[in-house]
Amino acid sequence: MRETDQIIHEFAGRLRQTEEYRTYEERRDRVREYPGLMDEINEFRKRNYLMQKSEGELFDKIDAFAREYEEFRSNPVVDQYLRAELAVCRMVQNIYTEIAEAIDLEITLDM
């Protein structure tokens, strides 16, 4: 195994041991106890993503989206899952940032 592969393998194992990831797994397992709920969460994510990528008055779209999904988000199982998922996503974003800052590739794009 290449050295980088070994480092990644070990690091991924450590990430799975973090409180954020363990909480995410617990919440994900709880969501899976409700048939169809993960499909609803995936639809929520899809619509949220498409809304954010759309043109026009984003504030109005966000407001309408929040109103539309207010009851859905008030479900504690959904809310806890999405919060745990966000915590893991933020952890991964921080990792990407740290790696990017630690490696000086000096890549420039002259056009």
Q: What is the pLDDT along the chain (111 residues), one digit of tens a residue?
A: 799 999 999 999 999 999 999 999 999 999 999 999 999 999 999 999 998 888 878 888 889 999 999 999 999 999 999 999 999 999 999 998 898 888 877 777 766
For position 103, what pLDDT does the model report? Answer: 86
Q: How far is CA 83 from CA 8, 56, 73, 76, 89, in A?
A: 26, 28, 11, 10, 10
Rg of the chain in Å (alpha carbons)? 19
With beta carbons less than 8 A apart as the criterion, state whether 65 and 48 touch: yes
CA–CA distances in Å: residue 34 to residues 16, 28, 46, 90, 93: 24, 11, 20, 26, 29
Q: What is the pLDDT of residue 111?
A: 60
**Which single residue is written with the structure tokens 């195994």?**
1
